[in-house]
Amino acid sequence: MHVSHLSLADFRSYARAEVALDPGVTAFVGPNGQGKTNLVEAVGYLATLGSHRVSSDAPLVRMGADRAVIRAAVVQGERQQLIELELNPGRANRARINRSSQVRPRDVLGIVRTVLFAPEDLALVKGDPGERRRFLDELITARAPRMAGVRSDYERVLKQRNTLLKSAAMARRHGGRGMDLSTLDIWDQHLARSGAELLAQRLDLIATLRPLADKAYEQLAPGGGPVSFDYRGPAGVEGARTREELYEVLLAALGEARKQEIERGVTLVGPHRDELLLKLGQLPAKGYASHGESWSYALALRLASYELLRSEGNEPVLVLDDVFAELDARRRERLAEMVAPGEQVLVTAAVDDDVPSVLTGTRYAVAEGRVERA
Ligand SMILES: Nc1ncnc2c1ncn2[C@@H]1O[C@H](COP(=O)(O)OP(=O)(O)OP(=O)(O)O)[C@@H](O)[C@H]1O
Ligand SMILES: [Mg+2]
């Protein structure tokens, strides 16, 4: 698929922007702080309903405005769809598909698919486990949009279970009589049910992604690998395969942790606590890999995601935000050759020279809030 038109209103620095896009490579070039990343961030938002830079919507709305609108025309084969998202920080966002307002924002997922690589992705390797969980879960949702529902069910159950545990912990501290544990049993089952579904998807994803990431790393940094992953979850997760088995694993782990959970007043077991350990050679990448290695690793994860989504049909838009300036000449050329055949590739760079010459295509100059064909 590709985006043929992007239209913004009060999004980030843009009061308005209209950008016609072609398939193939489009480069947005301009000095720092002119709004290049803001453009590709909007495209990414259509695919994930979130920004790769901030965790809430408020910064995405232009200072002084009360809502932002992202509109896009999306082409997939013969089909063209119009999607529109209205961002209302503090209130519910709204969505439209082909001008029909009867849809939830979540229904938009799957129409635009992106794989976005940006300097922030260094945190995939160096950052907290939460960064890697988000990476997995966003990719899971790109593969199967219905997983957005499973993720939000899980979050909801987790929140309610935590509330229950917190009040149990308070009651204990104040010498109360403890809670009715049968209620907690039911929440355990809810948590284990959506948790198992999420876990099954994560494990399947990791197994599929690993060889692709290894291959991408080898292409970027020959001889530097191998790349491998370890999933750290509740005891017994390694042996479990089916969703049913994972459900049992989670229930058992919740049973084990219950005493401690009631003492601490928080859910200590489940996909929200798991860790994807990234390894380079025999060592964990986090804490051991050099800056350049970490950068290549993060890029390899994104390129592997791109290959994966491509191989499963409906080719995603590849977004490379400020990537080339970080790479040495050889890696730059390698990366450029790898991505050049993509259906749609959006690149940002501060200067023309940072965009490798094999990436010919449309150029836009971005300056002072204007986006103009160069
Ligand atoms: N909500 C907002 N309202 C108004 N302006 C904003 C908002 N959010 C960001 N900006 C402005 O947008 C500009 C940053 O845009 P962007 O990140 O797209 O820059 P860039 O062209 O990618 O720069 P660089 O080359 O440094 O990456 C900043 O000047 C910032 O002040
Ligand atoms: Mg930028």
pLDDT of residue 283: 95
Same domain, 281 and 343: no
Bin 262: left if φ > 0, else alpha if -120 < ψ < 50, else beta: alpha
- Beta bridge mates, 7: 18, 71
Taking the C-alpha atoms of residue 44 and residue 50, their distance in angstroms, rounded to an integer, is: 7
H or E element in which residue 192 lies: helix 181-220
pLDDT of residue 169: 83
> Using one digit for the tens of pLDDT, what is the confidence trace for 190-220?
999 999 999 999 999 999 999 999 999 999 9
**Best mutation site among 8, 14, 34 for ligand 1, i.e. most ligand atoms within 8 A of its Cβ?**
34
> Using one digit for the tens of pLDDT, what is the confidence trace for 85-105?
999 999 999 999 998 888 999
Q: Which ligand lies nearest to the CA atom of residue 66 in the structure? A: 1
pLDDT of residue 176: 65
Same domain, 291 and 278: yes
Mean pLDDT over the full length of the chain: 93
Specify the CATH number for the domain of residue 351: 3.40.50.300
**Best mutation site among 10, 12, 116 for ligand 1, i.e. most ligand atoms within 8 A of its Cβ?**
12
Same domain, 356 and 345: yes
Closest CA to 169 of 267, 262, 268, 269: 262
Same domain, 42 and 180: no
What is the SS3 assignment for 279?
Answer: strand
Taking the C-alpha atoms of residue 274 and residue 278, their distance in angstroms, rounded to an integer, is: 13
**Best mutation site among 38, 326, 352 for ligand 1, i.e. most ligand atoms within 8 A of its Cβ?**
38
> Using one digit for the tens of pLDDT, what is the confidence trace for 251-280?
999 999 999 999 899 999 999 999 999 999
Looking at the 3D structure of the chain, how many domains does it have? Answer: 2
> Using one digit for the tens of pLDDT, what is the confidence trace for 148-179?
999 999 999 999 999 999 888 888 778 766 66
Domain final residue, candidates 294, 313, 332: 313
Q: How far is CA 167 from CA 130, 192, 261, 263, in A?
A: 26, 21, 12, 11
Same domain, 190 and 76: no
pLDDT of residue 96: 97
Question: 328 pLDDT band (50/70/90 cuts)?
Answer: confident
- Tell me how crowded residue 352 is: count the other CB atoms within 10 A of its CB: 12
Same domain, 187 and 326: no
Question: 80 pLDDT band (50/70/90 cuts)?
Answer: very high
Beta 100-103 vs 370-373: how paired, if at all?
A: unpaired
Same domain, 286 and 138: yes
Same domain, 149 and 61: no
Largest Cα–Cα distance in the chain?
72
Q: How deeply is 314 buried, as exposed, middle or buried, from its count of CB atoms within 10 A (0-12, 13-18, 19+)? A: middle
Same domain, 139 and 3: no
Same domain, 236 and 145: yes
Domain final residue, candidates 313, 334, 365: 313
Residue of minimum CA distance from atom 7 in ligand 1: 12
C-alpha 214 to ligand 1 mean position (Å): 34
Residue of minimum CA distance from atom 11 in ligand 1: 13
Domain final residue, candidates 313, 340, 356: 313
Atom of ligand 1 nearest to the CA of 53: 17
Q: Look-up: residue for tokens 């009360």?
A: 66
Question: 370 pLDDT band (50/70/90 cuts)?
Answer: very high
Same domain, 166 and 62: no
pLDDT of residue 177: 64
> Using one digit for the tens of pLDDT, what is the confidence trace for 108-119?
999 999 999 999
C-alpha 33 to ligand 1 mean position (Å): 5
Q: Which domain holds residue 153?
A: 119-313
Mean pLDDT, to the nearest integer, of 21-46?
96
CB 203 within 8 A of CB 230: no
Specify the CATH number for the domain of residue 252: 1.20.1050.90
**Is 238 a residue whose pLDDT tops 90?**
no
C-alpha 106 to ligand 2 mean position (Å): 27
Pocket of ligand 1 (CB under 6 A): 12-13, 30, 32-38, 59, 61-63, 322, 348, 350
Question: Is 0.95 surpassed by the pTM of this model?
Answer: no
Same domain, 156 and 272: yes
pLDDT of residue 179: 64
Mean pLDDT, to the nearest integer, of 6-25?
97
H or E element in which residue 19 lies: strand 14-20
